[in-house]
Structure 1
């Protein structure tokens, strides 16, 4: 019951305080009337204990980010700089440091910069993700369906067609 109430409150907040628009490819643009800020993200892709999504830049000069939310409480403490590995189907990989502050809520993220990183995310399917934690690391295999969805979401972000929906650039 608490979960339903929480979801209801979240939806009410978004609907009453912001203008939410979703594009066909899963990009969500929330123009928050209360704070005057715009938040661009993709729909969350769930893979076991890991939620994965992208956050889009609000203009052409800002980088996208790939975010992770680890739901495994035993391994949820993550420091700034902890490595995040993304493995693709051709066995190439991305290795980036977490850019978020130390937290034990399981949040980590890396900035998608560099042409090769952008090209890999746009053109290759992810098969595995490993996040270094305070206790070691958490590893998950990504299903083909979720890999395809992540690739399509990133392709959509790269087109930046959502920029016409952004009301508040900061």
Structure 2
């Protein structure tokens, strides 16, 4: 099977410089995380919580959501991130047919760990990603599973910041 990579749609002004500085990554799913089911798309409260994680940790976003698969989706996520004072995502995870999202995330890390000097990551998703990960224990230390109807919470923010505080956790 050939992996296809979604285009990021980010701009040069938001690109991460290749200065080899340690980098933390937040893998972002949108539906059920910043867009709670039954609520508004890109709900202001959940977007503020995401901004708290990004600003509090200095992490960059990699889009792992199904929103990454269309040009409209990538542009809308980028627009929403900037509207809430966050940098545009630096990339998207690859689309690997018949593979779970956890494998797509690990594939992206494997391909980019040295390029970006990645030292830690957190995956925000309403899917229990560790259940489908090849190494469940490893992935569990990096995954925050949100309640799809409430999306990100203040408790999730604290958990993410704690997870990202370790700078040598890959």
Q: Structures share a fold, TM > 0.5?
A: no
Q: Which has the higher contact order (CA 8 A, sep 6+)?
A: 2
Higher strand share: 1
Higher helix share: 2
The two structures have a TM-score, normalised by structure 2, of: 0.26
